[in-house]
Amino acid sequence: MTRRTQRGFSLVTAIFIVVVVSLIAGYMVNLGSSQQAATNFALLGARASFAAESGMEWATRQVVTTDACFTNGTSFALAGGALGGFTVTLSCAETSVTEGAVTYKVFTLGSTATLGTEGAEDYFSRTLSATVANAP
C-alpha cells in the first residue's frame, strides 16, 4: 500500500493571499492619493478666498479715499507668499442716493481671484462682492 500526498494546495493559498494583500495595498494608496488631492484643493480654495478678500480691501480703500469708482476690470497679480500666482480682477459701480437734503454715493464692488487656466484641473476662482457708502 503506497501513501499518496497532496501537493500544491499551499501554493494556491499563497497566491490567493498575495493577490488579496496587493489589492488592499492598491486601495490604500488610491485612498491616500484622493485624500491628499482633496486637502490640496481645500487649501487652494482658501487661498483663493484670501486673494479675493485682499482685492476687496484694495477696492474699498480706493473708493473711500477718492470718493469715485476705479476703472472696471482693474486687475493685478499677487506676488510672493501664499497668494503668489493669483490674479485679482475688480469691478465697481457707483450710484448716487438722495435722502432728504443729503446726497451720497453707494459703491457696489466685486473682487474675483483666479489661479490657473479656466477649464483646467488646477483652476481656482473665488468672487466676493460688497456695498460701500460714504453716507454721513
Residue 42 located in a structural domain: yes
Angstrom distance (rounded) from CA 56 to CA 52: 6
Cell of 96: 448716487
Residue pair 52/126 in contact (Cβ under 8 Å)? The answer is yes
DSSP lists the bridge partners of residue 112 as 89, 127
Q: Which amino acid is at 48?
A: A
Structural domain containing residue 99: 9-133
Q: Enumerate helices (H) and strands (E) in the chain, giving the number of each.
A: 1, 4
Residue 103 scores a pLDDT above 80: yes
pLDDT value at position 2?
Answer: 61
Portion of the chain with pLDDT greater than 90, in percent: 44
* Phi, psi torsion values for 77, nearest 5 degrees: -100, 135
DSSP state of 83: G
Q: Which helix (H) or strand (E) holds 115?
A: strand 102-115
Whole-structure pTM value: 0.72
Q: What is the pLDDT of residue 32?
A: 72
The count of structural domains within the chain is 1
Q: Is residue 4 part of a domain?
A: no
Name which of 87, 70, 69 is nearest 78 in CA terms: 87
- Does 2 reside within a domain? no
Q: Has residue 3 been placed in a domain?
A: no
The residue assigned the cell 490604500 is 28
Which of the two residues, 20 and 107, has the higher pLDDT score?
Answer: 107
